[in-house]
Amino acid sequence: MIVGTRGSRLALAQTEMFVSIMNERFPQVEVNVKRIRTTGDEVTSVPLHALGGYGAFVKELDQRIVSGEVDVAVNSLKDMPAELSPGTHLAALLPRAPVEDIIVPDIGVDELARGARVGTSSVRRRSLLLSVRPDLDVVDIRGNVPTRIRKLEEGGYDAILLARAGVQRLGLEVPHRVLPPSMFVPAVGQGAIAIVCREGSEHLGMLSSLDHLPTRFEVEAERRVLSALGGGCSVPIGVNARYADGKVEVSSVVLSEDGSREARESLVAKVGDIAALDSMAERLKAAMGG
């Protein structure tokens, strides 16, 4: 089995998690890792939304899956577009890590100085920040997690926003404060690792056995709302679902780019209640005038 991955430290750490699970569960399968450079890795001088959103990190991996160059790709689910690439299949989701955003260093958003320079690559985080602190200078920051932290330490920014899961998976000890998900609603799929293969893959049976159902229930609800909204990573959207006892509790937010307008919705629905999720999306669109 050939596993395709980006070459960033986080991507490699997540791939190592998958390989370790495979080696433990299926020791008879030889697993080899192949690093692949993606558009998102190559082009770091422009904001992600200018590259078509986070799909820039998975497009080349999908192409290599379909062509047969690799059998499997390990992705951060939040990097994946709302609709899967033709010929690919979301075979498994590994147990989800914490979903929250964090601010580095350990400082409250309300404690930042007026006009403070805050770095983020996410239009969602930018809009959420501006919705509560329109005076901040929120600017784009690119690079992997350690690179962003280094840029902060070098004085280029007063603070940066990151996903808690990435910092945790890299084992980084960095002063930070967790942002409440009730306010800073996380990105769709944040904290989830997706295992993608070809449709009809010979490895599908093994891969599917690794699927973590609570994570699956959560992210399928989140991705359904995102799809119904017709949005992607170039639109400020947050959706977070939490699974318990056959139901999902879903919180969502849609914002204008400058954070001056927002719509929020929440619901509790049975797993697989597509109508309820679509209805949530319609209410959000109506509230934003869409």
Catalytic positions: 79
Task: Write a three-state SS string for 18-39.
Answer: HHHHHHHHCCCCCCEEEECCCH
Partners of 254 in the beta sheet? 237, 263
In 164-288, where do the E strands start and end? 177-178, 193-198, 237-244, 247-255, 262-270
Amino acid at 179: L
DSSP string, 104-142: ESS--GGGSPTT-EEEES-HHHHHHHHHH-TTSEEEE--
C-alpha–C-alpha distance, residues 195 and 238, integer Å: 22
**3-class DSSP assignment, residue 260:** coil
